[in-house]
Amino acid sequence: MDMAKVLLGRIVGAALAAGLLLALTGCQDGGADGAEGGPAAVIAPGKPGEKARTISPEQAARELPDDSPNAADRAYVRNMTEHHRQALAMSALAPSRASADGVKRLAERITAAQQPEIGAMERWSARLPAPTADAGGHDHAAMPGMATEQQLKELTDATGADFDRLFLTLMTAHHEGALKMAGEALASGNNVAVEEMATEVVATQTAEIHRMRSMG
């Protein structure tokens, strides 16, 4: 998947949608309402080559695209929450087992980034609960980049330089899996909040992958 093209397409779409929210309050007399005491006007930018339109706030609200969560959004939030939890469990081993300060600092950064992201996804899920039909069990072990039980045991048993090497190997694969999941959400999802969360994962974890590869 060409991540740059996916991101560009989503950003352009979001920008066009956001344009409908550009309310020009007091556009006629500098007040909160128009010259006749009516509601503030809203300028809706036209498509490329088309003129902008002046519409009412009510019409602007009707024309905003529906960003109701679809199956891709819900799958991303559900799966990425579990994906992040495994990364936190792996990172929690570093303070007592890693030998390289760089690995310890990396684990701290991963925890600092992903713990709040889990909180954001849990709040999203509570605000937009999945339909009952979609609330069944899911095979989280099949998600891309997830370490197996055997790999986690080996990481738990390792210390020193052995831990450092295995941690970097497993976490790099873990991050690469997260990028794949985020790319799928950006390509197929519909919810703006999920798009923002996925975009943040792409930015943060791409940088961390580069750092881990330089440390390996």
SS3 98: strand
Give 42's strand partners: 23, 55
Specify the number of domains making up the chain. 2
Token duo for residue 115? 């713990």
* pLDDT for 142: 86
DSSP letters, 23-68, are: EETTTTTSSSS-TTS-PPEEEEPPSTTS--EEE-HHHHHHHSPP--
Tell whether 1 is covered by a domain. no
73 has a pLDDT exceeding 90: yes
Residues 106 and 203 occupy one common structural domain: yes
pTM for the model stands at: 0.72
Cα torsion angle, 65, 71, 77, 80, sign: negative
Residues 171 and 84 occupy one common structural domain: yes
Residues 105 and 202 occupy one common structural domain: yes
Q: What 8-state DSSP symbol labels residue 65?
A: P
pLDDT tens sequence across 127-137: 999 887 555 55
Token duo for residue 12? 């352009």
Tell whether 168 is covered by a domain. yes
Q: What 8-state DSSP symbol labels residue 146?
A: P
Specify the CATH number for the domain of residue 192. 1.20.1260.10
Task: Give the domain extent around 97.
Answer: 71-130+138-215
* Contact status, residue 138 vs residue 111, Cβ threshold 8 Å: no
pLDDT tens sequence across 169-196: 999 999 999 999 999 999 999 999 999 9
SS3 178: helix
Residues 59 and 76 occupy one common structural domain: no
Give 43's strand partners: 54
Residues 103 and 174 occupy one common structural domain: yes
CA distance 117 to 178: 13
Contact partners, residue 168, CB within 8 Å, separation at least 6? 103, 212, 215, 216
Tell whether 3 is covered by a domain. no
Residues 75 and 55 occupy one common structural domain: no
Last residue of a domain, one of 63, 90, 106: 63
Tell whether 78 is covered by a domain. yes
CA distance 114 to 79: 14
* pLDDT for 61: 59
Contact partners, residue 167, CB within 8 Å, separation at least 6? 90, 93, 94, 98, 103, 107, 155
CA distance 79 to 188: 15
Residues 39 and 88 occupy one common structural domain: no
Residues 76 and 39 occupy one common structural domain: no
Residues 97 and 201 occupy one common structural domain: yes
Residues 75 and 50 occupy one common structural domain: no
pLDDT tens sequence across 10-40: 544 444 444 444 443 444 444 444 445 556 7
Residues 162 and 92 occupy one common structural domain: yes
